[in-house]
Structures are given as structure tokens and as C-alpha cells.
Amino acid sequence: MTRGLARLAAVLGVSAALASGVRPHAHQLDPRIRITSPLGRAGLPGTIRIVARVDGWTQERPIPVNFYVDKLFLSSDTDGPPYDALWTDENPFEKRELIAEAELASGAKVRDVLDLKPLEVEEAADVRSVAVEATVLDDKGHFIKDLTAENFAVRENGTEQKLDLVMQNRDPALFALLVDASQSMAIRSDDVRSAAARLIAPLGKDDQILVAPFSRTITSVTGPTTDRATVLEAIRAIRHSGGTAILDALGEAARSLATLPRRKAIVLITDGYDEHSESKFEQTTETLRSNGITTYVIGFGGIAGISLKGEKLLARLADDTGGRAWFPRDERQLLAAYDAIATEVQHKYLITYTPQDQNRDGTWRTIDVSVPGSTFRVRARKGYTAPVAPPIRASLEFTGVGTGSVAPVITRDDIIVLEDGEPQEIDVFQEAVLPVTFMLALDSSGSMKRSAAQAQEAAREFIAAMRLEDQLGLMLFGNKPNAVHAPTERRDASLKAIDEYVADGGTALYDALYDSLEQLASVKNGRRVVVVVTDGRDENAASDGPGSLRTWDEVLAKLQQTEAAVYAVGIGSRVERDRLQQLADRSGGAAYFPTDVTTLASDYHRILDELRRRYIVGYLSTNRSRNGRWRAVEIRARQKDVAIRSRGGYYAPAQ
């Protein structure tokens, strides 16, 4: 028989078998493999179970399945389904690639690749919207359906709120099965396993389930997954040992699930014996409530039954988070509890509103949901904790000046940082090694004629001493400012302008300062510095009026916006000494006042030397208020012979 006829016969044979209802051997179909867990990041610590299913292969001899993380071999499972591998997700904030690969008897390989996206942490900006899930019951305990926004009233701290949305059709949710795997629960393990199917059966096809066994801590985690068989396999795989830390496990789960965007509920299955928790009850309920997690509890006796104390604790846990607690005495009651959870989830209303109080003050706010004009009972969470404004990161550049104005070497341990008098914890300390962008503002007024040659020579030395990676822009100012060129690494235009320097006219000092700061405003990277050299005050050529169109207050406002350091060199006795010093003090620069131009070159070198020995200190402010106000920051040196110079503070961001 030719190869083409043989292939046709094989195809006809399979078709005939299917038509007659006879299923061909699985290995004759195309096997495929798929990763069923995890389908996303849960953020829970500890070991993660990667689970894969092989479909279309039913031969008695199992096939090996290899697991890889980021193409690096993890482990191999050769003893048949369920195929799994244990993996520690050390950094859930980085993307990972999971691969499951099955090798068939023919030598062919099938694989599934799953990209695990990193967890994303978002900073809360406002108390924009609050979501409340509510269950409405009549006096006989029956669920009330088809209510609308007009039927509900919501009060926050006693103040009625305007509702944004009321809906009964729910979005897909994440259910975390927090299963007590301590030794005291071993006697009820069969009940838990047999009844779990009743809980997951009514859930929506897009609902994700996570299985997290715990004893003293959460151990291996399966999920989140939508594959129900994977969930049941995970429950069957639980092995009981050790003591119990219920509150610790709940808090750990709540904090980890907080970053997930889905609606979340925890189903806690335990006997209520908490022997090892370090967390307090109030801490745990606060964590659950602040993360909007409803808690359902199924508590039943283990080896010694369930204590009255344990029953009260579990009931309070559920009640404080808007859930319910059941204490079944046998398997029938356990199944009823599972059915009740699934049914209640299907009948919840989602109510959202935008609070009138938008302050991010971290306070507890009570919520009261009711159906006015009825005898209905409404079960919902009792409140929420308002978000706290994210911490403000402050960063300042400073210089330590020692005896004789020589910049000393400073380490993190050599300084103390106080913000408005409060000590701050330094978490960033480094030398300021980024390139500097300079604007050299050089006075070219008529009063500079006698010292023009020396000023030119000093400027040339300054330009020659700069680092190659630094950028330089040049501003000459007489009757008006002349922006010769914007900052650049090339020096030819600057040197040409210095060679052609001519002193004449008045002194437009304020305009030159303002325009120099404006040139630096668009610089995004590195440090920004204005070096201004002048021998006079802001005045016109006749010395009978101002030399600038800009005012002093406008210069100070521009300095605040630009956050550049100003180094001022005021030559002689006619300079506005107080104002030049003010610029230096506010910006963290320095001011020098030589009697004549002969020391100008050495002043330039002092500026460059100081800029090469500057430091950056950073910290998270203990003051979270976002009011746009100035905060005074004092950087103190522990050495007595070192003085610190910085801009002295920063403006807090506004709301």
C-alpha cells in the first residue's frame, strides 16, 4: 500500500470509530498540556505549587513532565497526574515565565508557556470611592432580590452619602480557601475534602480559587486558578501537622491579597484553636477590613471539638468583616454551610459611593447600610479605614565645608537630618556624581571696564577647569541680558564670547538671574547651577533707576520653581550683598565677596571644588501632609569643624 493510501485509511478508520461511538486510544489524538495554577500573582509568601494537566493521554505508563522558570529547569514529575512542581516566588514584583513540557513516548514534546505578570503597587491618591457588598434578608432569612439604588441608604460616620452604583450582578471574584492544616484538624480532613466540591460548584466560571493551607504559617499555595479539578487535588494533597496560628495566617493572607484587583473573599476552615499567633485580634480584623476582604468561617471540632472561646472568636471575625460563620456538627451541616456561602455570594449587592470626607487621615469610618421603610435586615461590613497619604520622599543636595573652606569627606554616619525639628531616617546617601549644567551670568556693565581683562582671563580658567561632561551656558548682562548660548558640552562659543567681551551700560542683574534660571528649568537630569559674577547692583546706566524689568520677588519665585544652586561672586563694595547671600542660602549655594577682581579665578576654583564634593541625602518624611508648604530641613554634621550648606528645605507637594 502506498504511503498516501495508508494515511487515508488511518484517517477513515478514526472517522469510522468516532461515528460508531467507539473512542480511539488517547495516544492517537493530539495530547496537549496546560498550566492550571497559578494563573496570576497572589503575593502570598512561601512555596507555590505549579500545576499542569495533560489532556488526551490515558495510557497506563505516565509520561514525564518537566517544569521550567524563565527557561531554567526547576524539576520533573514522572509519577503521573497531578503533575506539579514546588517553586518559591522570591520576587512577585518581577515578571516570570513558567513552562510545563511533556515528553511523549514518540519523543515529541508538547508544552505550555505562562507569563506571570508582576504585582503592581499603586499609591492611593484620594478616598475616591468606597465599595460595600451587602446581603438583604427578610424576617424569615430569605434573600431579597431586585432592589435598586432608590431602596438603599448609606451613612458614613452618621452622614448620608450619595450612591454612585447599586448592582446585583457581580464581577468575577477571588476566593481564598484558608484551610487549617494543623494536627488537630487531621480527624476532619476527609470531611473537608469531600465537601469542598459543594462550595466551588456554584461559583462562576471566571471566579478564581486559591488554596492556602496553614498551620503556624501559610505553607504551599495553589492558584489562583479557575480549574476546579486543580482545586480539589490541592485540598486532597494537604497533610496535617504542627500547631495553629489562625490570626497570623489571616493577616498574612489579607496583606498579600490586597494588591489583587478582583473582589476578594476568604473562606476560613478551622477548629478555632489558635495556639501560636503573635497578631492581636484587632490587628487582624483591621487588616481584613482595610483591604475590603469579606471573611466566611467554617468552624468545626477537631480532635477535642471546638471551644466556646474559639467559637466566639471565629464569629466575631466573620461579623466584623461583613461575612458569616457556621459551626457544623456533622458532614450534612458542613455541606449546608458550603451551600450557604455559595448562595450568599450569588445574592450580594455591590454598592459604591464617593465619600463626602476626602481627607486621607487613616481614621476608621463607620458604614451603616439600610433599606428605609422596610423590616429587612442588611448584612455588610461595618466600616473601613480611610487611606493614609503615601509618604513624601525628600531629597536634598548638600556640601560639607571644613576649616579654610576645604570640602571634607563625609559619610552617612557623619550627619543628622531634621525636618521641622523632627529627626528623619536616612535611606539614601550618595555622592552627587551626576554632570552639572552651568549658567555663567557675567556682568558686562560699564563698571567692569577697568577689570575686563582680568575678568576675561578668570572666565577662561573657569571654563578650562570644568569637566568635559558638564554643560555650560553663557549669559552676559549690561543694559539687558544677552543669552549668548544655551547649555552645551562644547566650549568654543563660550570662549569666543569671552574673547569679544565688552563692558558697557547699566546692570540688568535681576533679568540676568531670572533668564539664567529659565534656561535651566528644562534640564531634567543632573545638577543645575547658576554662577553669577557682578560688581554692582541692579540699576540702569544713569544709576537713577532699576536696571531690570523683573523684580527681586520674581527672581526668588523662579529660584523656587527651578531648584538650582546659585553661587554668587560680588566684587567690591557696591554689590547687593544681602540679596546675593539670600540667593546662595535659599539654594544651597555659596556667596563670595572679594574686594577686587584679582581673586576671581580662585573663587571660580572654589566653586568647582565644592561642586565635586557634594552629596545627596534622601528619606521618607515622617510628615505625610500634602499642603504645599515649606519644610525646613536641617542637615547637621557630627564633627564640630564641619559646616553643612544646603538649600535648607523643600516645598511639600500639594493635594
Write the single-letter amino acid at 464: A
Residue 25 in any domain: the answer is no
**pLDDT beyond 60 at 462:** yes
Under DSSP, is residue 200 helix (H, G, I), strand (E, B) or coil? helix
Residue 325 in any domain: the answer is yes
Are 159 and 182 part of one and the same domain?
Answer: no
Burial class (CB in 10 A: 0-12, 13-18, 19+), 157: middle
**pLDDT beyond 60 at 2:** no
Are 107 and 189 part of one and the same domain?
Answer: no
pLDDT in tens, 11-30: 333 333 333 333 344 344 57
pLDDT of residue 11: 33
- Measure the CA angle with vertex 313, ends 307 and 319; round to 5°: 135
Are 158 and 257 part of one and the same domain?
Answer: no
What's the whole-number average pLDDT of the chain? Answer: 84
pLDDT in tens, 87-113: 888 777 788 999 999 988 788 899 999
Are 305 and 363 part of one and the same domain?
Answer: no
pLDDT in tens, 521-562: 988 877 899 999 999 999 999 999 999 999 999 999 999 888
Question: Which of 5-9, 35-39, 66-70 shows the highest mean pLDDT?
Answer: 66-70
Residue 285 in any domain: the answer is yes
pLDDT in tens, 117-138: 887 544 444 557 888 888 898 8
pLDDT of residue 503: 94
CATH at residue 67 = 2.60.40.10
Q: How confident is the model at residue 59 (pLDDT cuts 50, 70, 90)?
A: low
Are 108 and 208 part of one and the same domain?
Answer: no
What is the C-alpha separation between 431 and 611, in angstroms, rounded? Answer: 10
Are 457 and 479 part of one and the same domain?
Answer: yes
Domain end, chosen from 576, 591, 606, is at 591
pLDDT in tens, 211-265: 999 998 888 889 899 998 898 889 888 888 888 899 999 999 998 888 777 778 8
Query: Of 186 and 307, which is predicted with more confidence?
Result: 186
pLDDT of residue 13: 38
Residue 69 in any domain: the answer is yes
Q: In which domain, by residue range, is 543 found?
A: 438-591
What is the C-alpha separation between 221 and 256, in angstroms, rounded? Answer: 12
% of the chain with per-residue pLDDT over 70: 89
Which of 58-62, 276-280, 323-327, 404-408 is least confident? 404-408
Helix (H) or strand (E) holding 136: strand 130-137
Question: Which of 292-301, 341-350, 506-515 shows the highest mean pLDDT?
Answer: 506-515
Are 504 and 561 part of one and the same domain?
Answer: yes
User: What average pLDDT score do residues 632-646 get?
Assistant: 89
C-alpha distances out from residue 49 to 46, 78, 400, Å? 10, 16, 54
Query: Of 510 and 302, which is predicted with more confidence?
Result: 510
Domain end, chosen from 554, 573, 591, is at 591
Residue 397 in any domain: the answer is no
Query: Of 598 and 42, which is predicted with more confidence?
Result: 598
Are 191 and 337 part of one and the same domain?
Answer: yes
Q: How confident is the model at residue 9 (pLDDT cuts 50, 70, 90)?
A: very low
Under DSSP, is residue 478 helix (H, G, I), strand (E, B) or coil? coil
pLDDT of residue 622: 92
Are 224 and 272 part of one and the same domain?
Answer: yes
What is the C-alpha separation between 24 and 291, in angstroms, rounded? Answer: 52
Cis peptide bond upstream of 82, omega within 30:
yes
Do the beta carbons of residue 30 and residue 109 sit within 8 Å? no
Do the beta carbons of residue 593 and residue 575 sit within 8 Å? yes
Residue 639 in any domain: the answer is no
pLDDT in tens, 357-389: 888 778 889 999 999 999 999 988 888 888 877
Write the single-letter amino acid at 174: L
Are 458 and 561 part of one and the same domain?
Answer: yes
Domain end, chosen from 323, 346, 369, is at 346
CA 513 vs. chain centroid, Å, equals 39
CATH at residue 219 = 3.40.50.410
Residue 402 in any domain: the answer is no
pLDDT of residue 413: 85
Three-state SS letters, 212-235: EEECCCECCEEEEECCHHHHHHHH
Are 243 and 305 part of one and the same domain?
Answer: yes
CA 99 vs. chain centroid, Å, equals 28
pLDDT in tens, 259-274: 777 778 899 988 888 8
C-alpha cell at position 103: 515528553
CA 171 vs. chain centroid, Å, equals 25
Angle, helices 452-465/600-611, rounded to nearest 10 degrees: 20
Which of 197-201, 264-268, 570-574 is least confident? 197-201
Under DSSP, is residue 254 helix (H, G, I), strand (E, B) or coil? helix
C-alpha cell at position 137: 434578608
Query: Of 149 and 611, which is predicted with more confidence?
Result: 149
Are 294 and 247 part of one and the same domain?
Answer: yes
pLDDT of residue 10: 36
- Measure the CA angle with vertex 152, ends 149 and 157; round to 5°: 120
C-alpha cell at position 177: 480557601
Q: What is the pTM of this model?
A: 0.49
% of the chain with per-residue pLDDT over 90: 42
Q: Strand 65-69 relative to strand 436-443: parallel, antiparallel, unpaired?
A: unpaired
C-alpha cell at position 607: 566653586
Overall residue count recorded for the chain in this entry: 655
Q: Tell me, what DSSP letter sits at residue 562?
A: H
Residue 143 in any domain: the answer is yes
Give the total number of structural domains in the chain. Answer: 4
